[in-house]
Amino acid sequence: MTYTLDHIAVVCADLSTGANWLAEKLGVALLDGGQHARFGTHNKLLGLADGLYLEVIAPDPVAKINGPRWFNLDHAPTTPRWGNWICRADDPNAQVDLTGPTTAMTRGDLHWQITVPDDGSLPMCGGFPTLIKWCDGAAHPANNLPVSGCALTRWEIQHPQADALRKMCPMNDPRVVFTTADAIGFIATFDTPNGERIIA
């Protein structure tokens, strides 16, 4: 089984702050996404080349939920940052001890299953991806987004256990790179209408 990069996410305590931060970095505005009632979040989106997309996701201040938010957003940072990466998998439950169980989600014509640990945390503090499976015949967000002129050229995961993650994540995308570092973090490189942009 291999994983396919689906999208990457910026997290922030405030959606507008996160979207403005990313738009300034890339020189391209994001579009409204929607709400995720199950987890009390909302998002903005940007389409990328090759069927990928970017997401800025934040707690929805008017949402009422019973339980933790996904993407560790009960502890959302006030300063925007890369928070997570999401990969398509034929069997998202294959590593359920690490990823948590799948949760069925829907928003408009979007229908998917996604792994969410019971406490809303991220596997290996985000070093291991969240796994997703879009339901057969369902729309994909990237298909509904206009061309932005931006393309991801490199997605680097920095982690103390980079060697283990490389073995645990059978990726079919050479843009995904694991590097050993003392602190966990992400660096994304993009081609944009305004030239190359590197966002850490």
Per-residue pLDDT of the chain (200 residues; tens, 9 = 90+): 799 999 999 999 999 999 999 999 999 999 999 999 999 999 999 999 999 999 999 999 999 998 999 999 999 999 999 999 999 999 999 889 999 999 999 988 899 999 999 999 999 999 999 999 999 877 899 999 999 999 999 999 999 999 999 999 999 899 999 999 999 999 999 999 999 999 99
Dist. CA 22–CA 80, nearest whole Å = 8
8 A C-beta contact, residue 9 and residue 15: no
Q: Which fold has domain 4-147?
A: 2,3-Dihydroxybiphenyl 1,2-Dioxygenase; domain 1 (3.10.180)
38, HSE (Cβ side, Cα atoms, 13 Å):
12
Q: What are the domain boundaries of the chain?
A: 4-147
For 111, residues 6+ apart whose C-beta sits below 8 A from its C-beta are 104, 105, 134, 135, 138
Predicted structure pTM score: 0.95
**Exposed e or buried b for every residue in 15-30, given b needs 16+ CB within 10 A?**
beebbbbbeebbebeb
